[in-house]
Amino acid sequence: MQLLCAVLVAFVAIKYSICANILGVIPVPSHSHQVVFWPLWKELSQRGHKVTVITSDPMNNPSLENLTEVDLRSAYQFMNLNFFQLQEEPAWKGLFTFGEFFSNLLEHIISNDKVQQLIRDKTTHFDVVMVEAFHTSALAFASRFNCPLILLSSLDGTSYAYGEIGNPAHPILHPDYALPFYNDLTFTQRIESAWSTLRIKFLQKYFYLPSQQKLVEKYFGPDYPPIEDIFKNYSMFFVNTNNVFHSIRPRLPNIVQIGGGTHLRKRNPLPVKLQNVLDDAKDGAIYFSLGSNVKSKHLSDDTRREILETFKELPYTVLWKFENENLPNVSENVIISKWFPQQDILQHPNVKLFITQGGLQSLEETIFSHVPIIGIPVMGDQMSNVANVVSKGLGLHLDYKDIRKENFKSTIVKVIQNPKYRKSVIEMAKFIEDQPETGVERAVWWTEYVIRHGGAPYMRNPGIDLPWYQYYLLDIIGFAFFITMAAICALVAMWKLTKKLNRLTADHIFEVPLGCR
């Protein structure tokens, strides 16, 4: 008995001896950006770590005693954007709009009283800081607490982020997720991808980063390293991808894929009224949502009219997430609401189709619910996600600018009535699920690895420390060019000299008198 007690005491001592203080910072006020990491915060806190999270979407779970959430739901005031209008603007203007958005957003977050109190508290210590993987002033938390940095992304990494850490990000083989193509790029698409890469690098260096660096100086203090340097000194980079749905690309050993439905949960009972509606949908139901950021109320009047006329002619019950209380000319088979329990609806057996903007979390939910897709992408990674959906046979694509009753109706009927789409979705779910561990388990293990070893600088690509001209072999190419040109010049000189000597020799022979021969 005494031996057993000793073993239990030793086990508890070992378990809690590695418990750490962890700071998580997810600045983007978007449910899809936040919900991916809820299971991570939960698991880390349940393992005894003290976790503090700066978030716009707190879980408010009283059972998680080790989890402290700095509630910044007020940041949602900056998400009142009409993304349809933004798409109509010139590309350069849209990028500047997003730059201003991030500046205003980060200033609101960092200037928050509770956040400032955290920054100024000299007694606070963290063993690791986990920050959303954008080049923002939030990265300065890693320098403030002088601890390892783990980068987090609720989707794939941007091409710019990959390039900054020395991970291959070829603009043709791996175009940025914000571009509307997936693979086998045409010549025009290759030009667009290369130009987009150069444009983003220019704007990051001369517009985004200077404004974010000013916020670091203003709210953290002077003498902080450049944001780019903090970013490059990361220990781990967690990306919400998997090798089945996403394109295959080379990844450094400290880039950890945590995708595969990290945020998914067991189905909860539906509200009684909603359950009855879906149960009574004998011909099937369609769920229509453009997500939490892109809003259906911002669709043009003409587009909304075409959509409503289409739904009116279909036998299916339609649940449409619509942000206004009223929508004129709604037919009896259409039910609108500002919010629906999306995961639970998609798992109802009568749901035949999901019409979505193509956000990654929505796609994961519909794939694991075995519901085929019509993608109407608007911005961000939605473009490449929907292109991916089409290439893998999970559904079809529609351009929101070209929605007409005829093509909308025919697309809906085609996806619902052709069993190949649902079959492809079911196969995709099986492939993604078949992995040795969950994304949360991987993320937790590598987080504790970083904590145990005080970082993992040895896993960084040494190439990021090379000058750009060495990284691209320009000095070697220049040297080889110089040697080649020197050799060519030497050969040309020897040839000319030989030719001249031959001419002189011939002239000398012909000038000798005949009598002397």
Q: Does 240 have pLDDT greater than 60?
A: yes
Instruction: Print the SS3 string covering 388-420.
Output: HHHHCCCEEECCHHHCCHHHHHHHHHHHHHCHH
pLDDT reported for residue 3? 46
- pLDDT tens-place string over residues 283-296: 999 999 998 888 89
Element (H, E) at 337: strand 334-337
Q: How far is the C-alpha of 440 from the C-alpha of 456, rounded, in Å?
A: 19
- pLDDT tens-place string over residues 120-151: 999 999 999 999 999 999 999 999 999 999 99
Q: Does 514 have pLDDT greater than 60?
A: no
Q: How many CA atoms lie within 13 A of 119 on its CB side?
A: 24
- pLDDT tens-place string over residues 55-87: 999 999 999 999 999 999 999 998 887 888 777
CA angle 53, 55, 59 (to 5 degrees): 80
Which value, to the nearest 10 degrees, does the dihedral of the CA atoms of residues 225, 229, 231, 232 take?
-150
Above pLDDT 90, what percent of the chain? 68
Question: Is 464 buried (19+), middle (13-18) or exposed (0-12) by CB count in 10 A?
Answer: middle
Tell which residue, 286, 478, 280, 464, has the closest CA to residue 372.
286
Q: How confident is the model at residue 89 (pLDDT cuts 50, 70, 90)?
A: confident
Given a contact cutoff of 8 angstroms between Cβ atoms, the answer to whether 330 and 336 are in contact is yes
Q: How far is the C-alpha of 449 from the C-alpha of 128, rounded, in Å?
A: 11
Within 8 A by CB and 6+ apart from 375, the residues are 356, 357, 358, 382, 385, 386, 389, 390, 395, 396, 397, 398
In this structure, of 119-128, 180-189, 376-385, 485-494, the range with the lowest mean pLDDT score is: 180-189
Structure-model confidence comparison of residues 95 and 245, the more confident one: 245
Evaluate the CA torsion angle 302, 303, 306, 307 in order and state its sign. Answer: negative
pLDDT reported for residue 513? 56
Q: How confident is the model at residue 88 (pLDDT cuts 50, 70, 90)?
A: confident
Q: Does 385 have pLDDT greater than 90?
A: yes
Q: Does 508 have pLDDT greater than 80?
A: no
pLDDT reported for residue 86? 76
Q: How many CA atoms lie within 13 A of 45 on its CB side?
A: 21
Instruction: Locate all alpha helices (DSSP H) within 220-268, ordered by sequence.
Output: 227-232
Give Rg (Cα) of the chain. 30
- pLDDT tens-place string over residues 470-491: 888 889 999 999 999 999 999 9
- pLDDT tens-place string over residues 255-275: 999 998 889 988 899 999 999
- pLDDT tens-place string over residues 432-441: 999 999 999 9
Return the beta strands (E) in 188-266 as ranges: 236-239, 255-257
pLDDT reported for residue 496? 87
Token pair recorded at residue 449: 């690895």
Q: Does 300 have pLDDT greater than 60?
A: yes
- Placement of tokens 């999901």 in the chain: 354
Mean pLDDT, range 25-40, rounded to an integer? 94
Mean pLDDT, range 367-376, rounded to an integer? 96
Structure-model confidence comparison of residues 312 and 465, the more confident one: 312
